[in-house]
Amino acid sequence: MDIPRIVELPATLASQIAAGEVIERPAAVVKELLDNSIDAGAAHVTVAVTDGGHKRISVSDDGHGIHPSDIELALRRHSTSKLNMQSDLDCITSLGFRGEALASIAAVSRFLLVTRTGGSDSAWSLSFDPVSGNTAVNPAARSRGTTVEAADIFQATPARRKFLRSRTTEFLHITEVVKRVACSRFNITFTLTHDNKPVLRYRACRDDMIERVADVFGRSFADRSIPVNYEAQGMRLWGWLGGSDLSRSQSDRQFCFVNGRVVRDKKIFHAVRSAFDDSLPTGRYPAYLLHLDMDPSVTDINVHPTKSEIRFRDNRGVHDFIHISLREALETAGSLDLGVTGDVPGKRSESAPAYQDQGSRLQVREAGMFYRNLVSREQQDDLTAQHAGLGVPLNAIPGRVVITQRDHDYVLLNYRAATEYVLRYRLKRDYMNESVRRRPLLVPVHIEAGDSEAELVEKYSELLETIGLSLRVVSAGVISVKAIPALLEEADVRTLLRLVLAELPLVGEDTDPGEKLLAVMAQATDTGAERASGSGVQGLLDDLDGTDLDTAQRHHKGIWRTLTVEELSKLIDD
Ligand code: ADP
Ligand code: MG
């Protein structure tokens, strides 16, 4: 794999970065190191803390490591592998970009970095002593990945040491950081130990994101919060929102993320709170875990030293989108909360004017909930009347099975298979209509390839363009990926390309090679399916209705199956 190389930022670019001292306490060290591990593509990250961080902090990952020739550069201020050009600064997709964190950590601690790339046969260590200013690089041993250790933090800077709080307090801050970061990346396993004792362990989740929500927010939040999934105007808001019954006396469970980055942004806090109208008394704070995803080029995170605030090109639009979506989520959940209001969900459509009154032109799509509450017979009938297709969702095992009711039968739907089907269908449809939308990659991805693969890429470049894939052979054995089909934007580009390269030699034999290639590419979107899980049930049912499948059928192999009440009872009787 390609290891991104570190370069020193040109002075003009460095001067445009909102520089600042990032290390104000041990938790800030942990935050910066976690960011680096995530940027390095790690699957497992372990944070080991000794003495509340006063004595030692170490973060180890199994990411791509640092190229042996760049190790010393990593410690230099404004040296980064993540930003090269002015245009990158306008559209930051990595967590880091200033190339300052390691330098700042090294300046206030005894610093040790051990790293090994996948391709190299040995690891290297770099140590730095802030008192003597000595740097040493030596061969070392470890498997692929990087460990950064900061010991005796602030020992050499007595003025700062004074501000270190008790071990317990500092450790509490570290725990908070790990929890927030863990909620930004469900697919990474995080471990936190204190004085060699395990404190937190979050296993990577695929279909069961709610398990991490339960680990971090508690089981009762996981069971009672409202799954959120809305999309409008290129923005997506997803996650879990606690209703007023889950509100707290502190604002400590307001987790928000923009494009996977932990942010603490007043505009967002305000937008979320505003959705509650007056239903939260002063002094009560909502609890939530919300991800806002959008095109990074319309955001600016280069505004605050710790990158925790964010600017949006359209602040108002973002505010309204959050406000309206969450209001709708709360209203819908409230109206489904049977026995409390007695309302029927059918009201939802009547409530639409309420948010149109907001004067916003946003079209919010209610994208499905897990209906946990048992719905009464009349209400089900009421609901059924409004839904064609596969019926009304009753419950779901996140990411796996959706249970719906249709007339008097029950339908079991395979979530993943259905999601994949929708994707394959859309890819094929767009291809047939010659309307495949391309998503240009802001920073082209380079992939190593053999000569024969490069030849095939050149030979079929036109065909590849028609399926939304822009590839160039940039030098011997290196292919650059400039764009991928927009529908596959969640896919891992390297996996995508590997799949395509494996298929290219067979292209001559296919009657419709474009279609075949798209089907192959759809397999690369595992993460897409994962993202969509945990929410979006109604959206998925609607999407399935929009495909060529006849959802009126009772069964569709591998995707859904209808069971009558008799068949269900028989399962128990047998
Ligand atoms: P930034 O993250 O802003 O680039 P840092 O000072 O945090 O700056 O890191 C400098 C560089 O060191 C990074 O750009 C990256 O190339 C490399 N690096 C740091 N930590 C890791 C890690 N855990 N794995 C791989 N590379 C790393
Ligand atoms: Mg960094």
Looking at per-residue pLDDT, the higher value among 332 and 385 belongs to 332
Ligand 1 first shell, C-beta below 6 A: 4, 6, 32, 36-37, 40, 61, 63-66, 74, 80-82, 96-103, 146
DSSP 182-204: HTT-TTSEEEEEETTEEEEEE--
Burial of 339 (0-12, 13-18, 19+ CB in 10 A): exposed
Q: Supply the residue whose CA is at minimum distance from atom 12 of ligand 1.
A: 74
pLDDT higher than threshold 50 for residue 357:
no
**CB proximity list for 528: less than 8 A, separation 6 or greater:** 419, 423, 488, 490, 491
Residue 96: predicted pLDDT = 83
pTM over 0.95: no
Q: Tell me what the pLDDT averaged over the chain comes to.
A: 82
CA of 525 from ligand 2 middle (Å) equals: 27
Determine phi and psi for 95, rounding to 5 degrees: -75, -45
CA of 527 from ligand 2 middle (Å) equals: 24
Q: What gap in Å lies between CA 30 and CA 49, rounded to an integer?
A: 9
Tell which one of 17, 39, 78, 112 to mutate to probe ligand 1, the residue whose CB is within 8 A of the most ligand atoms.
39
Q: What gap in Å lies between CA 25 and CA 142, rounded to an integer?
A: 28
Query: pLDDT, tens digit, for every residue of 407-419?
Result: 888 999 998 888 8
Kindly state the average pLDDT of the residues 541-566.
87
Looking at per-residue pLDDT, the higher value among 100 and 352 belongs to 100
pLDDT higher than threshold 60 for residue 375:
no
Residue 385: predicted pLDDT = 40
Question: What is the percent of the chain with per-residue pLDDT over 90, rounded to a whole number?
Answer: 38
Looking at per-residue pLDDT, the higher value among 115 and 79 belongs to 115
Query: pLDDT, tens digit, for every residue of 454-472?
Result: 999 999 998 899 899 999 9
**Ligand closest in space to the Cα of 82:** 1
Q: What gap in Å lies between CA 229 and CA 240, rounded to an integer?
A: 9
Kindly state the average pLDDT of the residues 11-15.
64
Tell which one of 81, 114, 128 to mutate to probe ligand 1, the residue whose CB is within 8 A of the most ligand atoms.
81
Residue 325: predicted pLDDT = 93
**Ligand closest in space to the Cα of 102:** 1
Residue 363: predicted pLDDT = 30
Q: Supply the residue whose CA is at minimum distance from atom 1 of ligand 1.
A: 99
Helical spans, DSSP H, in 226-361: 266-274, 315-336, 347-350, 352-356
Query: pLDDT, tens digit, for every residue of 226-248?
Result: 999 999 888 999 999 999 999 98
Residue 550: predicted pLDDT = 84
Q: What gap in Å lies between CA 239 and CA 227, rounded to an integer?
A: 6
Residue 168 tokens read as 């317990």
Asked if residue 53 lies in contact with residue 27, where contact means CB atoms within 8 angstroms, the answer is yes
CA of 74 from ligand 1 middle (Å) equals: 6
**Ligand closest in space to the Cα of 35:** 2
Q: Which long-range contacts (CB under 8 A, 24 or more apart) does 375-379 make?
A: 375/336, 375/338, 375/345, 376/338, 378/344, 379/338, 379/344, 379/345
Looking at per-residue pLDDT, the higher value among 106 and 18 belongs to 106
Asked if residue 540 lies in contact with residue 370, where contact means CB atoms within 8 angstroms, the answer is no
Residue 186: predicted pLDDT = 96
The pLDDT confidence band at residue 336, using thresholds 50, 70 and 90, is very low
Tell which one of 102, 146, 148 to mutate to probe ligand 1, the residue whose CB is within 8 A of the most ligand atoms.
102
pLDDT higher than threshold 80 for residue 362:
no
Query: pLDDT, tens digit, for every residue of 161-191?
Result: 777 888 898 999 999 999 999 999 999 999 9
**Ligand closest in space to the Cα of 79:** 1
The pLDDT confidence band at residue 85, using thresholds 50, 70 and 90, is low
pLDDT higher than threshold 60 for residue 508:
yes
Kindly state the average pLDDT of the residues 270-276.
92
